[in-house]
Structure 1
């Protein structure tokens, strides 16, 4: 297992935080590097969540969420949202969209999503969503993850 994980780690990825409002009305996030574009027409994107995640039930049932591509200076928020039990986002980390979805402030891009389908896939589930709205900040550089470490370009 570890050898396969290390082999997958050879692929450099961007880092994202998926954000939503939990059942208590608080903004929460989870760090992912499994984000992928699926289709331009209709606009679809996906990400995956581990079946054993502490927030598995929440994320596989949440109808509205955002995928935020992190900028090079956002390693701290990535680390914060990657820790089980520490997914809360502070008011200075997010801005609420017109539709009430928390968007990470300073992200390279944020995609407001509607859940379309959840597909079992081994020890993960794929979460497919429709992109309802998006915003981009071209002036920033991405946060990159490679061989188990953060990097910048």
Structure 2
């Protein structure tokens, strides 16, 4: 076991094997559905108590993301409609056989953020979160209709 906080997580080998196995046995669409469901389940296992403000929700989400070192998220109102824009900086980056850029984390984050926001008072759980764009070290998601 390493004590270096910058070292790769010890579970990286397991995750790489899991992703490669999913790639070998599932279409990209099937894999995305499963990974989105996993993100939703992670949110359910680590619920965020009701928050009255977006700033409070953002702070609680970042507390949860800090433990596994999954980056940070900032939340803003979407000027194009009744929705939220989530900018997720420094998401986990681990390539798989089929996904050399590590884009597999996008559906996980869709489920995770959608689960956390959908469980807040006044939210509509059936409203989904969609990955809008992704570049190196950042993913933007939209929660809304």
> Normalising to structure 1: TM-score of the pair?
0.32
**Higher helix content, 1 or 2:** 2
For the pair shown, the structure with the greater C-alpha radius of gyration is 2
- RCO comparison, higher one (Cα < 8 Å, 6+): 1
**Higher strand content, 1 or 2:** 1
